[in-house]
Amino acid sequence: MIKKPIGKKINIVYLACALVLILIFAFLPISTVIDNYMIKYKLLLYNAVRGSKSYPDDKIALVEIDDISAKEYSFPFSYSIHSKFLKKCKKAGVKGVVFLSTPGKDNNNSKSEKALIKQLEAGPSVFWGLYFIKNFDGNGNLKMALPSAKLLNRARGRGVVMQNAAGDKILRSKKLGMKWGEKVLPSIELEVAAYLKGIPRESINFTKRNVYMKKKRIPTDGKYNYFFIPGKKSEFRSFKFNEIMGQEIPPGLSGKTLLVGRVYDDQRGYVAVPLPMKPKYSSLQTTAKTVNSIVRGNYIMNFPRWVDLMIMIYMAIFIGWLITSLKTKKIISFSIFIIVIYMLANIAIFMLGYNYSLSAVLLMIVSFVGVVLIYRSLQLNSLIRKFVPSQLISTLSNNDLGTDFETKVRPMTVLFADIKGYTTLAERYNPAVILDMLDEYTKMINKIVDKNGGLMFNYQGDGLLAIFGLGEGESLEKGANNAVKSAGLIQNALKSLRRQWRMEYRELFIVGTGISTGDVAIGLMGTDTYSQYVAIGDTVNMAARLQALGKDLRSPILIDDETFKLCKNRSRVRFIKDIHLKGKFKCCKAYEVIGNRIKTPTTHPGINVDDDMETAVLKKIEFYREQRRLPEV
């Protein structure tokens, strides 16, 4: 019976497995962690290839509030200090001032506030950062820490100050907005960038995944984060706060926008950006870099999530289909090739200013290849079990792989079965038909032998060799009785098989069996590259010769003297005669098992009453051959 191929079903299972894996990894946190870790290397390459050689020094300057300045002027600075600083900036021709910290208050609050308001109205444009603190009401809400409302009304801008470092203290993205009730508050960087480009605050709009400054689109994710591109080396000109305060007219500030922020000498408040050796930058420096990045359009656009998923699903289908068509030994090398090509494509697209998820597909490929290799390994093991005796597999499982298998000699019972007239049968029929019939016959015998504790040890065309008593702790008597029982069951099973084949107009045959008990040597035989687990010895030869002798004696089951001694109390056995086998010096006794003999049919044409069972069956087979003229299939 020809079996239908199942390759298409297996491919469908592979594809389903690949799709399930990609959907799992697409939403697992580990994919986000790996993507965040890999982005620093992509940014490093981006800066090396496309990053600007220097930042423009004609728009932004940094004013650092170091430890000396903080101590000298009592940070956070009071209204009066802010007023004096803005007065200096006006004289120096400063275009704008961005304070990244909220002011403190003087004892004479009303007078100092009026002086500061005067400077805000007459001096350069001022931006004040808004900070948020947690309420203590237990609900986790945020509360805004504001300077005076009068000051905010006079200030040009009031963006939110945010510093977003990941768990490893590396800054990979900046948040351009924060949800506050029904509104979205722009970040200080976004406010300043719009100011430098001459775009009014009212023209800043937030959508689900983008920020717009008029018609200029800045891509973000669903939480208003966008990739922070730090560039190469920072070349913003920087000043100390106390130096500016100590000069009548500070030089070098004309036309610039000053970013004023706290810088600690012991690097507290610094974060790392994804550059070689994780260089440390203060929030003042990263704010300046982000402003410049927005102004210059030096940022990476994230693909929408649905585009990411479509790319992942396409890759899962493509890889699942391609890997399943490869041979096992090529899967690993091909997978490495695919991973390299996919990473190069991801980096190339990143260089063009676009980014999509990388880790989920890489994890899927590794996991999918592992699943395919494991599945094929299990398939191979299942296939090997059809060719290798189960006892050998058990021995391999219980021994180290480097162990040599010693030949073991022990008493066992050997059963040898052979088809009578096989040569004539093979001549009359197509080999494919013969193979199909032998397959059914072999499965039938193998099932009987396994059920009775035997081991189907070897197939030799139409001859079958089975061994009984091979199990640990199994007695020799039990093995001999199981062998004799199996031989009888085989003869009975052949009756039903013949009935089935007769209805299908197929050839009929009979089987002779020889059983012998004695010492058998079991071990490996062969070369270093190919070996077989074999059973040899005089006992095996005796079983084969008894089976051949049965044809002349018209006896389907013959056993030797040792087997007779072990099973005479449980089986109907009769002595045939003393025989002299070729190559043996001593005569052997041959016994016939008659417990399962079928009565000779006497009503069939050509069969005599004196004919034994085997002769009657042979005459009946020959009769059907002549009458039916069975066609070859």
Residue 550 DSSP SS3:
helix
Q: For position 516, what pLDDT does the model report?
A: 92
Between residues 217 and 427, which one has the greater pLDDT? 217
Q: For position 5, what pLDDT does the model report?
A: 43
Confidence of residue 611 (pLDDT cuts 50, 70, 90): low
Angle at 298 between CA 293 and CA 301, to 5 degrees: 115
Q: How far is CA 506 from the centre of its chain?
A: 50
| 518 pLDDT above the threshold of 60 | yes
| 472 pLDDT above the threshold of 50 | yes
Q: Helices (DSSP H) in 246-327: which residue ranges?
A: 283-296, 305-324
CB atoms within 10 A of CB 384: 12
Q: How far apart are CA 493 and CA 409, in angstroms?
A: 33
| 259 pLDDT above the threshold of 60 | yes
Burial of 330 (0-12, 13-18, 19+ CB in 10 A): exposed
CB atoms within 10 A of CB 328: 12
Give the pLDDT confidence of 306-354 residue by residue, as tens digits: 888 888 888 888 887 887 777 877 888 888 898 899 889 888 888 887 7
Q: For position 3, what pLDDT does the model report?
A: 43
Nearest alpha-carbon partner for 550 in 571, 579, 570, 572: 579
Q: How far apart are CA 366 and CA 316, in angstroms?
A: 12
For 482, residues 6+ apart whose C-beta sits below 8 A from its C-beta are 413, 452, 453, 454, 468, 469
- pLDDT, mean over the chain: 76
The answer to whether 35 and 350 are in contact (CB under 8 A) is no
Structure tokens at 67: 């430890």
Confidence of residue 414 (pLDDT cuts 50, 70, 90): very high
Which element (helix H / strand E) includes 206? strand 204-206
Q: How far apart are CA 591 and CA 574, in angstroms?
A: 6
Backbone dihedral region of 181: left (phi > 0), alpha (psi from -120 to 50 degrees) or beta?
A: left
Backbone dihedral region of 193: left (phi > 0), alpha (psi from -120 to 50 degrees) or beta?
A: alpha
Confidence of residue 531 (pLDDT cuts 50, 70, 90): confident
Give the pLDDT confidence of 115-173 residue by residue, as tens digits: 888 888 887 888 888 776 655 444 555 666 656 666 766 676 767 776 655 555 666 67
| 106 pLDDT above the threshold of 70 | no
Q: Name, of 232-236, 392-396, 426-430, 481-485, the range with top average pLDDT.
A: 481-485
Q: For position 415, what pLDDT does the model report?
A: 92
Domain ranges for the chain: 7-32+303-387, 52-297, 401-628
Q: For position 402, what pLDDT does the model report?
A: 45
Q: How far apart are CA 338 and CA 12, in angstroms?
A: 21
Give the pLDDT confidence of 205-256 residue by residue, as tens digits: 888 778 888 888 887 777 787 766 665 555 688 899 998 988 888 888 888 8
Confidence of residue 400 (pLDDT cuts 50, 70, 90): very low
The answer to whether 265 and 66 are in contact (CB under 8 A) is yes
Q: For position 6, what pLDDT does the model report?
A: 44
Q: For position 334, what pLDDT does the model report?
A: 86
**Secondary structure of the chain: what % helix, strand, coil (to 5)?**
45, 20, 35
| 374 pLDDT above the threshold of 70 | yes
Between residues 73 and 379, which one has the greater pLDDT? 73
Q: For position 632, what pLDDT does the model report?
A: 42
Instruction: Encode 173-200: b = buried (16+ Cβ within 10 Å), e = exposed.
Output: bbbbbbeeeeebbbbbbbbbbbbbeebe
Q: Which amino acid is at 403?
A: T
How much of the chain, in percent, has pLDDT values that exceed 90? 2
- Range 461-472 average pLDDT: 80
Q: How far apart are CA 189 and CA 219, in angstroms?
A: 15
For 630, residues 6+ apart whose C-beta sits below 8 A from its C-beta are 505, 506, 507, 624
- Range 188-208 average pLDDT: 86
For 147, residues 6+ apart whose C-beta sits below 8 A from its C-beta are 102, 103, 128
How much of the chain, in percent, has pLDDT values that exceed 70? 73
Structure tokens at 466: 């089975």
Q: For position 633, what pLDDT does the model report?
A: 33
CB atoms within 10 A of CB 569: 9
The answer to whether 510 and 420 are in contact (CB under 8 A) is yes
Range scoring the smallest mean pLDDT among 92-96, 98-102, 399-403:
399-403
Query: Is CATH 3.40.50.300 the right assignment for the domain spanning 401-628?
Result: no
Q: For position 55, what pLDDT does the model report?
A: 45
- Range 512-541 average pLDDT: 83
**Bond from prior residue into 279 cis (ω within 30 degrees of 0):** no
Directed axis angle between helix 476-503 and helix 431-451, to 10°? 140
The answer to whether 96 and 127 are in contact (CB under 8 A) is yes
Give the pLDDT confidence of 10-39 residue by residue, as tens digits: 567 777 877 888 888 877 878 877 876 777
Nearest alpha-carbon partner for 228 in 178, 280, 290: 290
